[in-house]
Amino acid sequence: MDLDEEKGGARESQGGPVYECVRCGRRVSFSELERYISFRCPYCGYRVFRKIRAPIVKRVKAR
């Protein structure tokens, strides 16, 4: 786990998207979750995750 991930910056360049455990709040990369048969938090064992999205705002022009 990188220091940047703990501060809130989601980094998708290393191992895909980043997920956050709902119970303990730790951030885990997708490649780390793939190691287990069922998606479980490697720290607390909980199975519910939230996908961390980039803080980029996308603007779409309405027609």
| Contact status, residue 45 vs residue 39, Cβ threshold 8 Å | no
The structure's pTM equals 0.62
Is residue 24 assigned to a domain? yes
Residue 41 belongs to a domain: yes
The domain total for the chain is 1
For position 3, what pLDDT does the model report?
43
pLDDT of residue 7: 45
In a domain? residue 62: no
Q: Which residues of the chain have pLDDT under 50?
A: 1-8, 10-13
Whether 23 is in a domain gets the answer yes
58 is a domain residue: no
- Give domain status of residue 45, yes or no: yes
What distance in Å separates the CA atoms of residue 61 and residue 8, rounded to the nearest whole number? 29
For residue 18, the enclosing domain spans 3-51
